[in-house]
Copies of this chain bind each other. A is one copy, B any other.
């Protein structure tokens, strides 16, 4: 029935070495001659050997497995984040277990009861807001934890300065003539999902506009779910308030894409009559020439993984905060073809 996995013994036999040597190769112990190491690695390869994490955990107290908990897996943001995390962890021969966990209740249940949580040497949590749902923002686990796309005074956190991103957007759009609009992506407070990033972006945006002396009336804001559809509706709404040129800060690339679509459908000149600025720096933004406030998502993932590695290796200092800065990427969706931009 169950196809038996090869064990360390078979690897040892095939490579013509002892048990201990194979184990030493697995654990990157320095005292192995390079040729021997190579021979062992080849034997592993040939046998399709993977170490049994449960056995490692039992024998060595470590499993070389890291759990990544995130609300979704199918979105671009998390894909990029995982890419960054994987890059660092796989190189150190760690395994990854992914857990898409949508609700805080489930998050708690997972941490408290799951054997898998128990198996894991460390945890990376993406986008969860712990302060509200866990007492003192403390998770029921004694494993090292790193948060990413979130902040918490108890754990190492890696996050983007979304407010700064909003400011960049505001400062940039303030340079153009025409009315200024913004779209805010709705946040669902009961879901664990990236609680406040959209509010922070908007707050920074408002700040920058104020400092630039450009008014931002309340009805120039449109609130919608994270969808292209939302962007389309928003543009139609904006066109009732003012006539072109319009400058739209879409709050998220996906929404910005909807704005672009609708603009084209209405025959408006993108980049002059309608200027659109996204937020995220998704791959498709480049394809369609969308200007955007880009997040270094892969780098954030990689940094989170590094912090976790340090913790798993015993580092016990106080929680660290790593703040990443977004970057304005200018493309055709805001570039006026023709006359130079107006600067008030």
Residues of chain A touching chain B, judged by Cβ–Cβ distance below 8 Å, are: 1-3, 5, 48, 50, 52-55, 57-58, 61, 63-65, 72-74, 90, 95-100, 102, 113-119, 142-143, 229
Q: In the complex, which residue of chain B has the Cβ closest to the Cβ of A73?
A: B100
Q: In the complex, which residue of chain B has the Cβ closest to the Cβ of A229?
A: B229
Q: Is the CB of A97 within 8 A of B73?
A: no
Could you tell me the distance between the alpha carbons of A55 and B54 in the complex, rounded to whole angstroms? 7
Q: In the complex, which residue of chain B has the Cβ closest to the Cβ of A70?
A: B100
Q: Is the CB of A53 within 8 A of B97?
A: no
Could you tell me the distance between the alpha carbons of A64 and B74 in the complex, rounded to whole angstroms? 27
Q: Is the CB of B95 within 8 A of A116?
A: yes
User: Which listed residue (B1, B54, B115) contacts A58, Cβ 8 A?
Assistant: B54
Q: Is the CB of A97 within 8 A of B72?
A: no
User: Which listed residue (B55, B95, B142) contacts A114, Cβ 8 A?
Assistant: B95
Could you tell me the distance between the alpha carbons of A96 and B90 in the complex, rounded to whole angstroms? 23
In the complex, how many angstroms separate the beta carbon of A183 from the nearest chain B beta carbon? 18
CB-defined contacts of A74 to chain B, threshold 8 Å? 72, 100, 102
Could you tell me the distance between the alpha carbons of A55 and B53 in the complex, rounded to whole angstroms? 11
Q: Is the CB of B118 within 8 A of A54?
A: yes
Q: Is the CB of B116 within 8 A of A1?
A: no
User: Which listed residue (B53, B90, B117) contacts A118, Cβ 8 A?
Assistant: B53
CB-defined contacts of A96 to chain B, threshold 8 Å? 114
List 5 interface pairs A-B (beta carbons < 8 Å), by A numbering: A50-B118, A53-B54, A65-B115, A65-B116, A98-B99
Q: Is the CB of B100 within 8 A of A50?
A: no
Q: Is the CB of A52 within 8 A of B118?
A: yes
CB-defined contacts of A2 to chain B, threshold 8 Å? 61, 142-143
Could you tell me the distance between the alpha carbons of A1 and B5 in the complex, rounded to whole angstroms? 34
Q: Is the CB of A115 within 8 A of B229?
A: no
